[in-house]
Amino acid sequence: MDLFALVAAFGGGVLGAMLGALPVFILTGVFAVVGGLMGMAGIAELSVGSITFGSMLGPHIAFAGGVAAAAFAGRKKLIPNGADILYSLNGTGSSAVICVGGMFGVMGYLIKFLYGDILHLRTDLPAITVITLAIITRLVFGTTGLFGKYEGTEKRAWVPTGSPLVYNILLGLGIGAAVSGVAVSLLSSGASKEAMAMFPIACFGLSAVSLIFVQTGFAAPASHHITLPAASAAVMTGNVWIGILVAIFCTVLGDTLAKTFNSHCDTHIDPPAFTIMLSMFLVNGLFA
Residue 73, amino acid: A
Rounded CA-CA distance 256/266 in Å is 18
With pLDDT > 90 as the criterion, what percentage of the chain qualifies? 91
For 258, how many CA atoms within 13 A lie in the half-sphere containing its CB? 12
Each domain of the chain, given as residue ranges in start order, spans 3-287
The whole-angstrom distance between residue 79's C-alpha and the CA centroid of its chain comes to 23
Report the predicted TM-score, pTM, of the whole model to 2 decimal places. 0.94
Residue-wise pLDDT tens digits, 121-146: 999 999 999 999 999 999 999 999 99
Neighbours of 132 (CB within 10 A): 20
Q: Residue 46's pLDDT is what?
A: 86
C-alpha distances out from residue 34 to 13, 29, 203, Å: 22, 9, 11
Q: Residue 266's pLDDT is what?
A: 94
| Exposed/middle/buried for residue 15 (C-beta within 10 Å: 0-12, 13-18, 19+) | buried
Give the burial string for 74-111 (b: 16+ CB within 10 Å, else e). bbeebbebbbbbbbbbeebebeebbbbbbbbbbbbbeb
Radius of gyration in angstroms for the set of CA atoms belonging to the chain, rounded to a whole number: 18
| Exposed/middle/buried for residue 227 (C-beta within 10 Å: 0-12, 13-18, 19+) | buried
Res. 152: pLDDT tops 90: no
